[in-house]
Amino acid sequence: MRTLIANGLIVTADGSYPGDVLVDGEVIVQIGVDLAAAGVTADETIDATGKYVIPGGIDAHTHMELPFGGTFAKDTFETGTRAAAFGGTTSIVDFAVQSKGQPLHEGLDVWHKKAEGNAVVDYGFHMIMSDVTDATLAEMDQLVAEGVPDFKLFTAYPGVFFSPDDHIFRAMRQTKHNGGLILMHAENGPVIDILAAGQVAAGVTDPIGHGLARDSRLEGEATSRVIRLAEVAGVPVYFVHMSAKEALDALMAARNRGVMAWAETCPQYLYLSLDDLGDGFNGAKFVCSPPLRTKDHAVELWNALKRDDLQVVGTDHCPFDFHGQKELGRGDFRKIPNGLPGVEERVDLIHQAVVDGRLTKERWVQVVSTGPAKIFGMYPRKGVIAVGADADIVVYDPNRSHVLSASTHHMDVDYSCYEGMAVQGGSDVVLSRGMVVVKDGEFTGRKGHGMFVKRGLADYARLG
Ligand code: URP
Ligand code: ZN
Ligand code: ZN
């Protein structure tokens, strides 16, 4: 099957130019001007006049079916990746979970089973490490070889995912030998627990207590502590879901010292704020960790994204219905499952920043696709429009407006964090390894088309 995408503006992280893209089977085989006139034939031609042709989005932070707070994130690999495709995302990297006392592989196998035969677009895995022992340290090397080269550890969630400093340090040292990357959830969990108990004791049981207890300085403190651990271990480090300017300050200072420290932020920290948490129990829709911050933090995050002090926008997609799931925390915000939906909205929300003049369209492609592809060992197979790359392609209409709403989205969750927000731009045609999976608002893909992506090491390791 040969597909010709003609007359579009090819937008890459490095620059934009008019051209045609020829897909044969699963890969891009030719790029040029007016390929049809040059005699190139195809089974199907997609007219991209007036549209952008971009590499499919890569969401490097999702949690399909994550067990949390006595329930499970609602999207499965089928519903979540289908929603991702509608939103122009053609690869996700989800977090497999090791429960305490379990080998890493046991957790990873569970995630393979959840995804295989169900995902609609391609997927990879990061490994959440809840236990750092001699055995799990040795297993890390094996996982790197199997294409799961990064490991998330937490200074948050005591009793669940929390790791003390010595465990984090040992895991970091292991990546010095195996080339893997440590991903950190940096908040001071034990101190937050004290503050959260204090809020409840003072009668603050609504979701706003979640935001008040999780002080932004405790994200800054944990971030700078973890950076120092990485410096001593002599390894790079990546921070997931960065939300606070204090954390950003620590990150920028480290980068100025020459430390290989990278971070992602998420649309919720750019567009939403503590005010959303303050709307009585309705604020439960916005309970995630780190929490939504006051608006001054978002100003700093936008600037950092523009300057490349932040490298990636992921979603931390972790959807729980408001009715029946978020409601588990009525009367005690500590029992509200943490997480928000967003996998479908990310590409459009960050394109809105292009419309608003905050980012260039090339930077948009960088932070939603090329950047994560490079950091997470998928480049140049993914994250780029280039001959030989997987034909994960979005024909994106930069002028089509639509309104974000739970009544029209495809995520399996009963609310949208952005209900009623109008955005300019939308994915018209989405190809996943050459297959048209979404066209003009219709799903044309197939459950099980998505394949496991065996990832390599981050770009820095290949260079070094
Ligand atoms: O609130 C969040 N972020 N839930 C998902 C788990 C995590 O920490 O990423
Ligand atoms: Zn986290
Ligand atoms: Zn997460």
Which two tokens mark 314? 């992921």
Q: What's the pTM value of the predicted model, to 2 decimals?
A: 0.98
Is pLDDT of 452 > 80? yes
Residue 430: its H or E element: strand 422-432
What is the DSSP annotation of 257-318? TT--EEEEE-HHHHH--HHHHTSGGGGGGG--SSPP--HHHHHHHHHHHHHTSS-EE---B-
Helix (H, G, I), strand (E, B) or coil at 79: helix
Predicted pLDDT of residue 338: 98
Contact between 450 and 77 (Cβ < 8 Å): yes
Q: Indicate whether residue 187 lines ligand 1 (CB < 6 A).
A: no
Hey, what's the torsion of the CAs at 81, 86, 91, 93, to 10 degrees?
A: -50
Task: Tally the C-alpha atoms within 13 A of residue 220's C-alpha that lie toward its C-beta.
Answer: 13
Average pLDDT over residues 388-406: 98
Q: Indicate whether residue 155 lines ligand 1 (CB < 6 A).
A: no
Residue nearest to atom 2 of ligand 1 (CA): 339
Q: Indicate whether residue 315 lines ligand 1 (CB < 6 A).
A: no
Q: SS3 letters for 89-142?
A: EEEEEEEEECCCCCCHHHHHHHHHHHHCCCCCCEEEEEEECCCCCHHHHHHHHH
Q: What is the amino acid identity at position 275?
A: D
How far apart are alpha carbons 154 and 168 in whole angstroms? 8
Predicted pLDDT of residue 38: 96
Q: Indicate whether residue 316 lines ligand 1 (CB < 6 A).
A: yes
Predicted pLDDT of residue 459: 73
Q: Ligand 3 centre from 318 Cα, in Å?
A: 7
The residues, any chain, with a CB within 8 Å of residue 140's CB and separated by 6 or more, are 104, 127, 129, 151, 171, 174, 175, 178, 180
Phi-psi region of 55 (alpha: psi -120 to 50; beta: other; left: phi over 0): beta
Is pLDDT of 434 > 50? yes
**What angle separates helix 134-145 from helix 165-178, to the nearest 10 degrees?**
40
Predicted pLDDT of residue 20: 98
Residue nearest to atom 5 of ligand 1 (CA): 339
Question: Could you read off the pLDDT of 157-205 as tens digits, one per residue?
Answer: 999 999 999 999 999 999 999 999 999 999 999 999 999 999 999 999 9
Q: Give the gyration radius of the chain's Cα atoms.
A: 21
How far apart are alpha carbons 234 and 78 in whole angstroms? 39
Which two tokens mark 257? 């010292």
DSSP E strand stretches across 209-279: 237-239, 261-265
Domains of the chain: 56-380 (3.20.20.140)
Question: Please, what's the b/e burial string for 159-187 (b: 16 or more CB within 10 A of its CB; e: otherwise)?
Answer: eebbbeeebbbbbbbbbeebbbbbbbbbb
DSSP H helices, 337-405, are 346-355, 361-365, 371-375
Q: Ligand 1 centre from 72 Cα, in Å?
A: 12
Q: Indicate whether residue 94 lines ligand 1 (CB < 6 A).
A: no
Question: Could you read off the pLDDT of 199-257 as tens digits, one per residue?
Answer: 999 999 999 999 999 999 999 999 999 999 999 999 999 999 999 999 999 999 999 99
Pocket mutation for ligand 1, best pick of 286, 289, 326 (most atoms within 8 Å of C-beta): 289
Provide the total of helices (H) and of strands (E) in the chain, helices listed first.
15, 19
Contact between 345 and 267 (Cβ < 8 Å): yes
Average pLDDT over residues 428-446: 98
Model confidence at 458, in pLDDT bands (50, 70, 90)? confident
* Cis peptide bond N-terminal to 380, omega within 30: yes
Model confidence at 464, in pLDDT bands (50, 70, 90)? very low
Is pLDDT of 463 > 80? no
Helix (H, G, I), strand (E, B) or coil at 415: coil
Residue nearest to atom 9 of ligand 1 (CA): 316
Predicted pLDDT of residue 73: 98
Helix (H, G, I), strand (E, B) or coil at 462: helix
Q: Indicate whether residue 185 lines ligand 1 (CB < 6 A).
A: yes
* Beta bridge mates, 31: 21
Residue 411: its H or E element: none
**Apex 92 CA angle, 147 and 293, nearest 5:** 120
What is the DSSP annotation of 196-224? HHHHHHTT--STHHHHHHS-HHHHHHHHH
Length of the chain: 464
Closest by alpha carbon to 369, among 354, 347, 391, 340? 347
Predicted pLDDT of residue 460: 65
Is pLDDT of 379 > 60? yes
* Cis peptide bond N-terminal to 290, omega within 30: yes
Helix (H, G, I), strand (E, B) or coil at 234: coil
Average pLDDT over residues 39-56: 98
Average pLDDT over residues 341-370: 98
How far apart are alpha carbons 303 and 310 in whole angstroms? 9
Q: Indicate whether residue 339 lines ligand 1 (CB < 6 A).
A: yes
- Average pLDDT over the chain reads 97
How far apart are alpha carbons 242 and 237 in whole angstroms? 13
How far apart are alpha carbons 18 and 51 in whole angstroms? 10
Q: Indicate whether residue 62 lines ligand 1 (CB < 6 A).
A: no
Is pLDDT of 18 > 80? yes
Question: Could you read off the pLDDT of 257-299 as tens digits, one per residue?
Answer: 999 999 999 999 999 999 999 999 999 999 999 999 999 999 9
Helix (H, G, I), strand (E, B) or coil at 405: coil
Question: Could you read off the pLDDT of 306-355 as tens digits, one per residue?
Answer: 999 999 999 999 999 999 999 999 999 999 999 999 999 999 999 999 99
Residue 27: its H or E element: strand 27-32
